[in-house]
Amino acid sequence: MSDKVSILFVDDQQEVLDGLRRMVRSMRSEWVAGFALGGEKALEMMESKDYDVLVTDMRMPGMDGAELLKRTVEAHPHMIRVVLSGQYDVDRFVESGWPAHQFLSKPCEADQLKRTITHAINMRGLLENKVIRSLVTRASFLPSLPRVYLEVEQELKLASASMKKVGNIIAEDVGVTAKVLQMANSPIFGCTRKIESPSQAVVMLGADVIKSLLLYLQTCSSLMLPADISLERISYHGVRIAMLAKAIAEMEGQDKHVCAEAFLAGLLQNIGSLIIISSFLEQYRQIERESREHNESVSAVERRVLGASHAEIGAYLISLWGLSPTVAESVAYHDNPSECPDEKISFALTAVHVANALDKDIGLGAAFVENEFDFDYLEKLSLLDHLPRWQEKYQAMFKGLSNGKK
């Protein structure tokens, strides 16, 4: 059996397919590529061959990309589904069930396409349990990129991006507006005046922070959690980790992009735990109990019970969303950075790891509080002597603040 990744590219224009064929030629030692002229042909090819990845245009005559993706979810739920399109109808896409994992815009550079697909496949390799891998891959069972997040991201990519327009996009959803304002006005952000509108929140907190909050808050709200699990408390803990990770990155002179990735990875570092709670509650209770009774790390118990840790599950979902590989890897290895195979990984991983080890809340449950310092990793990076400064920063930022407790 071949170890090559099989990818099906779909477009309604032959010249586009020919261009894609040339683009991926350099990957022929790792990929087996198929090319379908239109949605009907793609379904026919999927019936005769098992593909790992679908990359499709959206606006096609006959069967459009949204319908093709929807039918792919039903018949081939294991496939990673990528949109490669110049434009698409958001309303039509939402109606079809939001069936894609990642979005790439035409024209797409060859390196970007290769990185996107390769990273998603590498992240999938973290999960050996086929049941969980299938569950994580099925967008209809787990959260996909929320609509408001996607619309805000599209606006921010424009050269003429308007913070007022971003605020207006958020304001169109009353529920999202309430969540953003509640979080923005919490003491944790230390705003000196009351934030009364989404536009004010964007200006006060910054576009990167707002975009990260939108993704996190909307994802959490889509998960079904039991009544005894405090989502508000978990969310505040996540924000603390995010803010501390960003602050540590800033202290170390990292550029704005790395600091933003540290913030987002900090927010999402335990999204895998929320997925386990919402989808495998009985197993989660077992994991929490066994970890406590046997003084065993949560990750080790998770791998024994589920076949994968919460960090690995969360990282795979993040990679399917098409977020930065740095964010996915920072989530995957936030509790054991020494195991990260990428020796040149961004400082975001270090920042998130340290923030988790500094900030603990014994009331959140074992899956949210197990992290300890990986001293070997910090010593390898010559960062052990930075710990006192980071601890002082943590105390200065959060002394006297609650963790969202009621």
Asked if residue 166 is part of any domain, the answer here is no
Mean pLDDT of the chain: 84
Q: How many CB atoms lie within 10 A of CB 357?
A: 20
Whether 92 shows a pLDDT value over 50: the answer reads: yes
Region label for 38, one of left (φ > 0), alpha (ψ between -120 and 50) or beta (otherwise): left
Final residue of a domain: which of 124, 145, 179?
124
- pLDDT band of residue 114 (cuts 50, 70, 90) is confident
| Number of domains making up the chain | 2
Asked if residue 24 is part of any domain, the answer here is yes
Tell me the per-residue pLDDT of 115-125, one tens digit each, with 9 for 90 and over: 888 877 776 66
Amino acid 173: pLDDT: 82
Asked if residue 153 is part of any domain, the answer here is no
- Report the CATH number that the domain containing residue 347 is assigned in CATH: 1.10.3210.10
Asked if residue 148 is part of any domain, the answer here is no
Q: How many CB atoms lie within 10 A of CB 359?
A: 20
Is residue 368 within 8 A of residue 355, CB to CB? The reply is no
Q: Looking at the structure, do residues 228 and 367 belong to the same domain, yes or no? A: yes
Give residue 40's domain range: 5-124
Whether 4 shows a pLDDT value over 90: the answer reads: no
Final residue of a domain: which of 72, 104, 124?
124
Residue 90 token pair: 């958001």
Amino acid 139: pLDDT: 31
Asked if residue 179 is part of any domain, the answer here is no
Amino acid 127: pLDDT: 56
Mean pLDDT throughout 152-180?
85
- Whole-model pTM: value is 0.73
Q: Looking at the structure, do residues 245 and 369 belong to the same domain, yes or no? A: yes
Give 40 or 214, the one with higher predicted confidence.
40
Q: Looking at the structure, do residues 248 and 108 belong to the same domain, yes or no? A: no
Asked if residue 149 is part of any domain, the answer here is no
Amino acid 39: pLDDT: 95
Tell me the per-residue pLDDT of 58-86, one tens digit each, with 9 for 90 and over: 889 999 888 998 899 888 877 888 888 87
Tell me the per-residue pLDDT of 253-308, one tens digit each, with 9 for 90 and over: 999 999 999 999 999 998 888 888 888 889 889 998 998 898 888 888 988 988 88
Q: Looking at the structure, do residues 255 and 110 belong to the same domain, yes or no? A: no
Q: Looking at the structure, do residues 230 and 111 belong to the same domain, yes or no? A: no
Amino acid 90: pLDDT: 57
Tell me the per-residue pLDDT of 8-58, one tens digit each, with 9 for 90 and over: 999 999 999 999 999 999 888 989 999 999 999 999 999 999 999 999 998
Whether 355 shows a pLDDT value over 90: the answer reads: yes
Whether 353 shows a pLDDT value over 90: the answer reads: yes
| DSSP string across 323-344 | --HHHHHHHHTSS-GGG-S-TT
Give 130 or 360, the one with higher predicted confidence.
360
CA 11 to chain centre: 27
Tell me the per-residue pLDDT of 386-398, one tens digit each, with 9 for 90 and over: 999 999 999 998 8
Asked if residue 133 is part of any domain, the answer here is no
Q: Looking at the structure, do residues 245 and 392 belong to the same domain, yes or no? A: yes
Asked if residue 18 is part of any domain, the answer here is yes
- pLDDT band of residue 140 (cuts 50, 70, 90) is very low
Q: Looking at the structure, do residues 119 and 227 belong to the same domain, yes or no? A: no
Whether 96 shows a pLDDT value over 60: the answer reads: no
Final residue of a domain: which of 124, 139, 161?
124
Q: Looking at the structure, do residues 235 and 378 belong to the same domain, yes or no? A: yes
Whether 98 shows a pLDDT value over 70: the answer reads: no
Phi/psi at 113 (5° precision) = -60, -45
Q: Looking at the structure, do residues 236 and 118 belong to the same domain, yes or no? A: no
- Report the CATH number that the domain containing residue 70 is assigned in CATH: 3.40.50.2300
